[in-house]
Amino acid sequence: MLKGFLVICVLAGLTTSISLPQTPLSSGFSVNVSAFLTSLPEWTRRWSESWLDSMASNSNSSNDIPAYVFEFAPVVHLFSGEQFWPCDMAEHLEHVTPHLNYTPISASPSNCNISSLNKLNQYNGGRFVYLMSDDNVEERPDWLGGEKNIPISPEKPFHQLPGGQQNQQQPIRSGKRGRLSGGRSDAPAVLVLVDKGDGIVDAFWFFFYSYNLGNKVFNVRFGNHIGDWEHSLVRFHNGKPQKVFVSEHYFGQAYTYDAVEKIGKRPVIYSAVGTHAMYATPGFQPYILPFGVLHDQTNRGPLWDPALNTLSYTYNYSSDILLPSTHNPTAATEWFYFNGHWGDKHYPLSDARQYEFAGEYHYVSGPLGPRFKHLGRRRVCQGRYTDPCVIRNWLPSERSLDDVRELERLWDRNHVTGVESDPPYM
Protein backbone atom coordinates (compact mmCIF):
# COMPACT_ATOMS: atom_id res chain seq x y z
CA MET A 1 0.00 0.00 0.00
CA LEU A 2 2.68 2.50 1.05
CA LYS A 3 4.88 1.51 -1.87
CA GLY A 4 2.06 2.10 -4.34
CA PHE A 5 1.20 5.47 -2.83
CA LEU A 6 4.81 6.63 -3.03
CA VAL A 7 4.79 5.70 -6.71
CA ILE A 8 1.89 8.11 -7.18
CA CYS A 9 3.92 10.83 -5.51
CA VAL A 10 6.93 10.18 -7.71
CA LEU A 11 4.84 10.21 -10.88
CA ALA A 12 3.42 13.55 -9.89
CA GLY A 13 6.88 14.96 -9.33
CA LEU A 14 6.20 15.68 -5.67
CA THR A 15 8.95 16.12 -3.13
CA THR A 16 6.80 17.07 -0.18
CA SER A 17 6.72 14.56 2.65
CA ILE A 18 3.32 12.90 2.90
CA SER A 19 1.99 11.63 6.23
CA LEU A 20 -0.16 8.58 5.61
CA PRO A 21 -2.95 7.65 8.01
CA GLN A 22 -2.86 4.15 9.42
CA THR A 23 -6.51 3.44 8.72
CA PRO A 24 -7.72 1.18 5.90
CA LEU A 25 -9.02 2.66 2.66
CA SER A 26 -12.59 1.72 3.52
CA SER A 27 -12.33 3.80 6.73
CA GLY A 28 -11.87 7.15 5.01
CA PHE A 29 -8.38 7.13 3.54
CA SER A 30 -9.63 8.19 0.09
CA VAL A 31 -11.39 11.19 1.66
CA ASN A 32 -8.20 12.27 3.40
CA VAL A 33 -6.28 12.34 0.11
CA SER A 34 -9.01 13.66 -2.18
CA ALA A 35 -7.57 17.16 -2.16
CA PHE A 36 -4.17 15.73 -3.00
CA LEU A 37 -5.58 13.75 -5.92
CA THR A 38 -7.31 16.75 -7.45
CA SER A 39 -3.99 18.57 -7.52
CA LEU A 40 -2.36 15.93 -9.71
CA PRO A 41 -2.03 16.13 -13.50
CA GLU A 42 -5.03 14.50 -15.19
CA TRP A 43 -3.21 11.35 -16.43
CA THR A 44 -1.62 10.78 -13.03
CA ARG A 45 -4.93 11.35 -11.26
CA ARG A 46 -6.68 8.74 -13.42
CA TRP A 47 -3.96 6.17 -12.70
CA SER A 48 -3.86 6.84 -8.98
CA GLU A 49 -7.63 6.87 -8.55
CA SER A 50 -7.81 3.54 -10.38
CA TRP A 51 -5.12 2.11 -8.12
CA LEU A 52 -6.80 3.36 -4.95
CA ASP A 53 -10.17 2.01 -6.07
CA SER A 54 -8.71 -1.42 -6.75
CA MET A 55 -7.01 -1.45 -3.35
CA ALA A 56 -10.22 -0.42 -1.61
CA SER A 57 -12.33 -3.04 -3.36
CA ASN A 58 -9.75 -5.72 -2.69
CA SER A 59 -9.69 -5.37 1.06
CA ASN A 60 -11.99 -5.83 3.95
CA SER A 61 -10.60 -3.88 6.88
CA SER A 62 -7.48 -5.99 7.37
CA ASN A 63 -7.35 -8.78 4.78
CA ASP A 64 -8.26 -11.10 7.62
CA ILE A 65 -9.80 -14.51 7.05
CA PRO A 66 -13.23 -14.75 8.73
CA ALA A 67 -13.40 -17.34 11.49
CA TYR A 68 -16.16 -19.22 9.70
CA VAL A 69 -13.77 -20.14 6.86
CA PHE A 70 -11.71 -22.21 9.30
CA GLU A 71 -14.77 -23.43 11.17
CA PHE A 72 -16.02 -25.09 7.97
CA ALA A 73 -12.64 -25.87 6.39
CA PRO A 74 -12.50 -29.27 4.63
CA VAL A 75 -10.44 -32.18 5.89
CA VAL A 76 -8.87 -34.63 3.46
CA HIS A 77 -8.50 -38.39 3.65
CA LEU A 78 -5.38 -39.33 1.69
CA PHE A 79 -5.18 -42.86 0.33
CA SER A 80 -3.66 -45.41 2.68
CA GLY A 81 -1.40 -46.83 -0.05
CA GLU A 82 -0.33 -43.46 -1.46
CA GLN A 83 3.24 -43.13 -2.74
CA PHE A 84 3.18 -39.42 -3.60
CA TRP A 85 2.15 -37.35 -0.60
CA PRO A 86 1.50 -33.61 -0.20
CA CYS A 87 4.56 -31.45 -0.86
CA ASP A 88 5.84 -27.97 -0.08
CA MET A 89 5.93 -25.91 -3.27
CA ALA A 90 8.97 -24.02 -1.97
CA GLU A 91 10.93 -27.25 -1.62
CA HIS A 92 9.69 -28.41 -5.03
CA LEU A 93 11.32 -25.36 -6.61
CA GLU A 94 14.70 -26.41 -5.23
CA HIS A 95 14.68 -29.48 -7.50
CA VAL A 96 13.64 -28.00 -10.83
CA THR A 97 15.20 -25.83 -13.55
CA PRO A 98 13.16 -23.42 -15.68
CA HIS A 99 12.99 -24.31 -19.37
CA LEU A 100 11.48 -22.43 -22.29
CA ASN A 101 9.83 -25.43 -23.88
CA TYR A 102 12.78 -27.87 -23.88
CA THR A 103 15.57 -25.29 -23.66
CA PRO A 104 17.07 -24.46 -20.24
CA ILE A 105 16.72 -20.82 -19.29
CA SER A 106 19.92 -19.15 -18.24
CA ALA A 107 18.10 -17.40 -15.43
CA SER A 108 19.45 -16.63 -12.00
CA PRO A 109 18.70 -19.38 -9.45
CA SER A 110 17.02 -16.67 -7.41
CA ASN A 111 14.29 -16.54 -10.07
CA CYS A 112 13.12 -20.01 -9.10
CA ASN A 113 11.72 -19.52 -5.62
CA ILE A 114 8.32 -18.52 -4.31
CA SER A 115 9.41 -14.88 -3.82
CA SER A 116 10.53 -14.30 -7.41
CA LEU A 117 8.95 -16.98 -9.59
CA ASN A 118 6.94 -14.38 -11.52
CA LYS A 119 10.20 -13.05 -13.01
CA LEU A 120 10.12 -16.04 -15.33
CA ASN A 121 7.20 -14.37 -17.11
CA GLN A 122 9.75 -12.22 -18.94
CA TYR A 123 10.35 -15.20 -21.24
CA ASN A 124 7.58 -14.98 -23.83
CA GLY A 125 5.07 -14.12 -21.13
CA GLY A 126 5.94 -17.26 -19.14
CA ARG A 127 3.23 -19.45 -20.64
CA PHE A 128 5.78 -21.76 -22.29
CA VAL A 129 8.06 -21.92 -19.27
CA TYR A 130 8.26 -25.37 -17.67
CA LEU A 131 9.83 -26.21 -14.32
CA MET A 132 11.69 -29.34 -15.40
CA SER A 133 12.88 -31.86 -12.82
CA ASP A 134 16.63 -31.96 -12.20
CA ASP A 135 16.30 -35.71 -11.52
CA ASN A 136 15.09 -38.61 -13.60
CA VAL A 137 11.60 -38.98 -12.19
CA GLU A 138 11.56 -42.70 -12.89
CA GLU A 139 14.28 -43.09 -10.27
CA ARG A 140 11.78 -41.71 -7.75
CA PRO A 141 13.93 -39.20 -5.80
CA ASP A 142 12.78 -38.64 -2.22
CA TRP A 143 11.55 -35.08 -2.81
CA LEU A 144 9.07 -36.37 -5.38
CA GLY A 145 7.28 -38.64 -2.90
CA GLY A 146 6.93 -36.23 0.02
CA GLU A 147 6.88 -39.06 2.53
CA LYS A 148 8.03 -36.76 5.32
CA ASN A 149 4.80 -34.79 4.84
CA ILE A 150 2.42 -37.63 5.71
CA PRO A 151 -0.06 -36.10 8.17
CA ILE A 152 0.05 -37.09 11.81
CA SER A 153 -3.38 -38.68 12.08
CA PRO A 154 -5.72 -37.56 14.85
CA GLU A 155 -7.13 -40.12 17.22
CA LYS A 156 -10.22 -41.94 15.90
CA PRO A 157 -11.99 -39.31 13.79
CA PHE A 158 -15.76 -39.22 14.12
CA HIS A 159 -17.51 -39.08 10.74
CA GLN A 160 -20.97 -37.55 10.53
CA LEU A 161 -22.70 -39.07 7.52
CA PRO A 162 -25.65 -37.49 5.70
CA GLY A 163 -28.96 -38.21 7.39
CA GLY A 164 -27.41 -38.21 10.85
CA GLN A 165 -25.75 -41.61 10.57
CA GLN A 166 -22.40 -42.04 12.24
CA ASN A 167 -19.59 -44.53 11.90
CA GLN A 168 -18.29 -46.49 14.85
CA GLN A 169 -15.30 -44.29 15.64
CA GLN A 170 -15.06 -42.00 18.65
CA PRO A 171 -15.22 -38.22 18.45
CA ILE A 172 -11.96 -36.36 17.99
CA ARG A 173 -11.01 -33.33 20.01
CA SER A 174 -11.63 -29.93 18.49
CA GLY A 175 -9.27 -27.02 18.85
CA LYS A 176 -9.24 -23.35 17.87
CA ARG A 177 -11.42 -22.48 14.85
CA GLY A 178 -12.75 -26.02 14.70
CA ARG A 179 -9.34 -27.52 14.01
CA LEU A 180 -8.63 -31.13 14.68
CA SER A 181 -6.14 -32.53 17.15
CA GLY A 182 -3.53 -33.95 14.79
CA GLY A 183 -3.77 -34.33 11.06
CA ARG A 184 -1.04 -31.76 10.42
CA SER A 185 1.23 -32.04 7.38
CA ASP A 186 4.52 -30.20 7.01
CA ALA A 187 3.40 -29.38 3.48
CA PRO A 188 1.33 -26.19 3.68
CA ALA A 189 -2.01 -25.96 1.94
CA VAL A 190 -2.92 -22.69 0.20
CA LEU A 191 -6.15 -20.89 1.06
CA VAL A 192 -7.35 -18.22 -1.38
CA LEU A 193 -10.41 -16.28 -0.24
CA VAL A 194 -12.45 -14.53 -2.92
CA ASP A 195 -15.28 -12.15 -2.05
CA LYS A 196 -17.83 -12.29 -4.89
CA GLY A 197 -20.14 -9.64 -3.44
CA ASP A 198 -23.76 -9.91 -2.30
CA GLY A 199 -22.62 -11.93 0.73
CA ILE A 200 -21.00 -14.67 -1.39
CA VAL A 201 -17.49 -15.70 -0.37
CA ASP A 202 -15.53 -18.54 -1.98
CA ALA A 203 -12.83 -20.29 0.04
CA PHE A 204 -10.50 -22.11 -2.34
CA TRP A 205 -8.27 -24.72 -0.69
CA PHE A 206 -5.32 -25.71 -2.88
CA PHE A 207 -3.18 -28.78 -2.34
CA PHE A 208 0.21 -29.24 -3.98
CA TYR A 209 1.98 -32.50 -4.84
CA SER A 210 5.31 -32.84 -6.62
CA TYR A 211 4.16 -35.81 -8.69
CA ASN A 212 1.00 -37.16 -10.26
CA LEU A 213 0.94 -40.90 -10.98
CA GLY A 214 -1.54 -41.55 -13.78
CA ASN A 215 -4.03 -44.38 -14.05
CA LYS A 216 -3.89 -47.52 -16.19
CA VAL A 217 -5.93 -48.55 -19.22
CA PHE A 218 -5.45 -52.09 -20.52
CA ASN A 219 -2.71 -52.33 -17.87
CA VAL A 220 -0.84 -49.43 -19.50
CA ARG A 221 -0.26 -46.28 -17.45
CA PHE A 222 -1.08 -42.81 -18.81
CA GLY A 223 -1.00 -39.26 -17.52
CA ASN A 224 2.07 -39.04 -15.27
CA HIS A 225 3.32 -35.51 -14.68
CA ILE A 226 5.58 -33.44 -12.45
CA GLY A 227 3.76 -30.98 -10.22
CA ASP A 228 0.10 -31.36 -9.28
CA TRP A 229 -2.37 -28.72 -8.06
CA GLU A 230 -5.73 -29.94 -6.74
CA HIS A 231 -8.41 -27.92 -5.04
CA SER A 232 -11.71 -27.85 -3.26
CA LEU A 233 -14.05 -24.92 -2.83
CA VAL A 234 -16.46 -24.09 -0.03
CA ARG A 235 -18.93 -21.37 -1.01
CA PHE A 236 -20.46 -19.26 1.76
CA HIS A 237 -23.45 -16.95 1.72
CA ASN A 238 -23.62 -14.50 4.61
CA GLY A 239 -21.13 -16.60 6.53
CA LYS A 240 -22.97 -19.91 6.12
CA PRO A 241 -21.65 -22.78 3.99
CA GLN A 242 -23.87 -23.49 0.99
CA LYS A 243 -21.93 -25.61 -1.53
CA VAL A 244 -18.78 -27.71 -1.80
CA PHE A 245 -16.85 -28.35 -5.01
CA VAL A 246 -14.10 -30.95 -5.47
CA SER A 247 -11.76 -31.04 -8.48
CA GLU A 248 -11.48 -34.27 -10.46
CA HIS A 249 -9.02 -34.24 -13.35
CA TYR A 250 -10.35 -31.84 -16.01
CA PHE A 251 -13.72 -31.56 -14.34
CA GLY A 252 -15.17 -31.96 -10.86
CA GLN A 253 -18.34 -32.35 -8.85
CA ALA A 254 -20.41 -29.93 -6.77
CA TYR A 255 -22.59 -30.76 -3.78
CA THR A 256 -24.74 -28.91 -1.32
CA TYR A 257 -23.02 -28.51 2.02
CA ASP A 258 -25.75 -30.54 3.72
CA ALA A 259 -25.14 -33.49 1.38
CA VAL A 260 -21.47 -34.11 2.11
CA GLU A 261 -19.92 -36.23 4.83
CA LYS A 262 -18.58 -34.24 7.77
CA ILE A 263 -16.40 -34.37 10.83
CA GLY A 264 -18.28 -32.04 13.12
CA LYS A 265 -19.10 -29.13 10.80
CA ARG A 266 -16.22 -29.74 8.43
CA PRO A 267 -16.66 -31.35 5.00
CA VAL A 268 -14.74 -34.58 4.41
CA ILE A 269 -13.15 -35.08 1.00
CA TYR A 270 -11.08 -37.93 -0.39
CA SER A 271 -7.85 -37.75 -2.37
CA ALA A 272 -7.39 -40.50 -4.96
CA VAL A 273 -4.24 -42.59 -4.95
CA GLY A 274 -1.62 -41.32 -7.40
CA THR A 275 -3.72 -38.75 -9.26
CA HIS A 276 -4.93 -36.91 -6.13
CA ALA A 277 -8.27 -36.20 -7.81
CA MET A 278 -10.78 -35.25 -5.14
CA TYR A 279 -14.05 -37.00 -4.36
CA ALA A 280 -16.79 -36.82 -1.78
CA THR A 281 -16.85 -40.57 -1.03
CA PRO A 282 -14.43 -43.45 -0.52
CA GLY A 283 -14.28 -46.34 -2.96
CA PHE A 284 -13.69 -46.77 -6.69
CA GLN A 285 -14.36 -43.68 -8.77
CA PRO A 286 -14.90 -44.33 -12.51
CA TYR A 287 -14.59 -41.64 -15.14
CA ILE A 288 -14.75 -41.80 -18.93
CA LEU A 289 -12.12 -40.70 -21.43
CA PRO A 290 -12.50 -41.04 -25.21
CA PHE A 291 -10.62 -44.33 -25.29
CA GLY A 292 -12.08 -46.07 -22.28
CA VAL A 293 -13.22 -46.13 -18.66
CA LEU A 294 -10.60 -45.29 -16.06
CA HIS A 295 -11.01 -45.29 -12.33
CA ASP A 296 -9.52 -43.63 -9.28
CA GLN A 297 -9.55 -45.15 -5.82
CA THR A 298 -10.08 -43.44 -2.48
CA ASN A 299 -10.27 -44.65 1.11
CA ARG A 300 -10.05 -43.45 4.69
CA GLY A 301 -6.28 -43.28 4.83
CA PRO A 302 -4.33 -40.64 6.80
CA LEU A 303 -6.51 -37.67 7.69
CA TRP A 304 -5.07 -34.32 6.66
CA ASP A 305 -6.25 -31.12 8.29
CA PRO A 306 -5.09 -28.34 5.92
CA ALA A 307 -6.11 -25.62 8.39
CA LEU A 308 -3.24 -26.60 10.69
CA ASN A 309 -0.62 -25.47 8.18
CA THR A 310 -1.91 -22.98 5.62
CA LEU A 311 -0.68 -20.06 3.58
CA SER A 312 -3.78 -17.86 3.42
CA TYR A 313 -4.56 -15.02 1.04
CA THR A 314 -7.36 -12.78 -0.17
CA TYR A 315 -7.80 -12.28 -3.90
CA ASN A 316 -9.62 -9.71 -5.99
CA TYR A 317 -10.20 -11.39 -9.35
CA SER A 318 -11.28 -8.13 -11.01
CA SER A 319 -8.01 -6.33 -10.29
CA ASP A 320 -5.95 -9.55 -10.13
CA ILE A 321 -4.50 -8.58 -6.75
CA LEU A 322 -3.50 -11.29 -4.27
CA LEU A 323 -2.70 -10.18 -0.72
CA PRO A 324 -1.41 -12.25 2.20
CA SER A 325 -3.86 -12.44 5.07
CA THR A 326 -3.12 -11.22 8.56
CA HIS A 327 -2.44 -14.82 9.59
CA ASN A 328 0.75 -14.69 7.49
CA PRO A 329 1.32 -11.04 6.53
CA THR A 330 4.80 -11.65 5.09
CA ALA A 331 3.83 -14.62 2.90
CA ALA A 332 5.17 -14.44 -0.65
CA THR A 333 2.72 -13.71 -3.46
CA GLU A 334 5.07 -13.73 -6.48
CA TRP A 335 4.67 -17.48 -7.05
CA PHE A 336 0.95 -16.93 -7.68
CA TYR A 337 1.65 -14.77 -10.74
CA PHE A 338 3.91 -17.28 -12.48
CA ASN A 339 2.26 -17.93 -15.87
CA GLY A 340 4.06 -21.18 -16.62
CA HIS A 341 3.88 -24.86 -15.76
CA TRP A 342 4.84 -26.36 -12.42
CA GLY A 343 6.49 -29.40 -14.01
CA ASP A 344 8.10 -30.89 -17.08
CA LYS A 345 6.86 -30.41 -20.60
CA HIS A 346 5.56 -33.71 -21.99
CA TYR A 347 8.50 -35.78 -23.09
CA PRO A 348 9.00 -36.27 -26.84
CA LEU A 349 8.49 -39.77 -28.23
CA SER A 350 12.24 -39.93 -28.77
CA ASP A 351 12.57 -40.08 -24.97
CA ALA A 352 12.70 -43.70 -23.76
CA ARG A 353 10.29 -42.86 -20.93
CA GLN A 354 7.55 -41.74 -23.30
CA TYR A 355 4.91 -43.63 -25.28
CA GLU A 356 1.58 -42.79 -26.87
CA PHE A 357 -1.68 -44.67 -27.42
CA ALA A 358 -4.90 -43.32 -28.91
CA GLY A 359 -3.66 -39.77 -28.47
CA GLU A 360 -2.84 -40.25 -24.77
CA TYR A 361 0.71 -40.07 -23.41
CA HIS A 362 2.58 -41.80 -20.61
CA TYR A 363 3.99 -38.40 -19.52
CA VAL A 364 2.03 -35.19 -19.97
CA SER A 365 2.94 -31.60 -19.15
CA GLY A 366 2.83 -30.20 -15.64
CA PRO A 367 -0.11 -27.98 -14.65
CA LEU A 368 -0.59 -24.25 -14.39
CA GLY A 369 -1.00 -22.78 -10.92
CA PRO A 370 -4.02 -21.72 -8.81
CA ARG A 371 -4.45 -18.39 -10.62
CA PHE A 372 -5.67 -20.36 -13.65
CA LYS A 373 -8.40 -22.30 -11.81
CA HIS A 374 -11.22 -19.86 -12.62
CA LEU A 375 -11.15 -18.11 -9.26
CA GLY A 376 -13.71 -15.60 -10.49
CA ARG A 377 -16.25 -18.28 -11.40
CA ARG A 378 -19.87 -17.32 -10.87
CA ARG A 379 -20.96 -20.90 -10.33
CA VAL A 380 -19.11 -23.32 -8.09
CA CYS A 381 -18.16 -25.61 -10.99
CA GLN A 382 -14.84 -24.85 -12.65
CA GLY A 383 -15.80 -25.46 -16.28
CA ARG A 384 -16.88 -22.97 -18.91
CA TYR A 385 -19.94 -20.88 -18.13
CA THR A 386 -21.76 -22.66 -20.95
CA ASP A 387 -21.10 -26.08 -19.40
CA PRO A 388 -23.76 -27.60 -17.14
CA CYS A 389 -23.13 -27.28 -13.41
CA VAL A 390 -25.01 -30.01 -11.56
CA ILE A 391 -25.13 -29.58 -7.80
CA ARG A 392 -25.98 -32.82 -6.05
CA ASN A 393 -27.93 -32.84 -2.83
CA TRP A 394 -27.01 -36.48 -2.24
CA LEU A 395 -23.86 -38.59 -2.14
CA PRO A 396 -23.36 -41.43 -4.62
CA SER A 397 -23.12 -44.90 -3.13
CA GLU A 398 -19.68 -46.35 -2.61
CA ARG A 399 -18.61 -48.33 -5.68
CA SER A 400 -16.70 -51.58 -5.70
CA LEU A 401 -14.17 -52.79 -8.25
CA ASP A 402 -16.89 -55.06 -9.66
CA ASP A 403 -19.03 -51.97 -10.35
CA VAL A 404 -16.15 -50.42 -12.28
CA ARG A 405 -15.57 -53.61 -14.27
CA GLU A 406 -19.25 -53.62 -15.25
CA LEU A 407 -18.95 -50.05 -16.49
CA GLU A 408 -15.89 -51.06 -18.51
CA ARG A 409 -17.81 -53.97 -20.09
CA LEU A 410 -20.69 -51.65 -21.00
CA TRP A 411 -18.31 -49.14 -22.55
CA ASP A 412 -16.47 -51.83 -24.52
CA ARG A 413 -19.75 -53.31 -25.80
CA ASN A 414 -21.10 -49.93 -26.89
CA HIS A 415 -17.92 -48.95 -28.72
CA VAL A 416 -17.14 -52.32 -30.28
CA THR A 417 -20.65 -53.16 -31.47
CA GLY A 418 -21.76 -49.61 -32.14
CA VAL A 419 -24.75 -50.00 -29.79
CA GLU A 420 -25.75 -46.61 -28.44
CA SER A 421 -26.87 -46.54 -24.84
CA ASP A 422 -26.36 -44.20 -21.93
CA PRO A 423 -23.86 -45.37 -19.30
CA PRO A 424 -24.99 -45.47 -15.69
CA TYR A 425 -25.07 -42.02 -14.07
CA MET A 426 -21.56 -41.25 -12.92
Q: At what angle do helices 2-11 and 42-58 cross, to 10 degrees?
A: 170
Query: Cα separation of 294 and 252, whole Å?
Result: 15
- Angle (CA) 305-306-312 rounded to 5° is 150
The candidate with the shortest Cα–Cα distance to 228, out of 306, 314, 311, 131, is: 131
Query: Cα separation of 376 and 316, whole Å?
Result: 8
Q: CA-CA-CA-CA torsion for 251, 257, 388, 214, nearest 10 degrees?
A: 10
State the pLDDT at residue 44: 41
Position 408, amino acid: E
State the pLDDT at residue 387: 83
In contact, 234 and 267? CB cutoff 8 Å? yes
In contact, 311 and 190? CB cutoff 8 Å? yes
State the pLDDT at residue 406: 58
The candidate with the shortest Cα–Cα distance to 54, out of 34, 33, 30, 35, is: 30
Position 333, amino acid: T
pTM listed for this prediction: 0.78
Cα distances (Å, whole numbers) of residue 140 to 137, 143, 147, 210, 345: 5, 8, 12, 11, 18
The candidate with the shortest Cα–Cα distance to 130, out of 331, 319, 282, 344, is: 344
Query: Cα separation of 257 and 119, whole Å?
Result: 40
State the pLDDT at residue 101: 96
State the pLDDT at residue 416: 41
State the pLDDT at residue 45: 43
State the pLDDT at residue 216: 85
Each residue's pLDDT expressed in tens, for the chain with a length of 426 residues: 444 444 434 344 433 333 333 333 333 333 333 444 455 444 344 334 444 444 444 444 458 999 999 999 999 999 999 999 999 999 999 999 999 999 999 766 667 899 999 999 999 999 999 999 999 999 999 999 999 999 987 665 666 666 655 543 333 333 334 444 459 999 999 999 999 999 999 999 999 999 999 988 778 899 999 999 999 999 999 999 999 999 988 788 999 999 999 999 999 999 999 999 999 999 988 776 554 567 889 999 999 999 999 999 999 999 999 999 999 999 999 999 999 999 999 999 999 999 998 888 999 999 999 999 999 999 999 877 788 899 999 998 776 566 655 555 654 555 443 333 333 322
State the pLDDT at residue 236: 98
State the pLDDT at residue 9: 42
In contact, 88 and 325? CB cutoff 8 Å? no
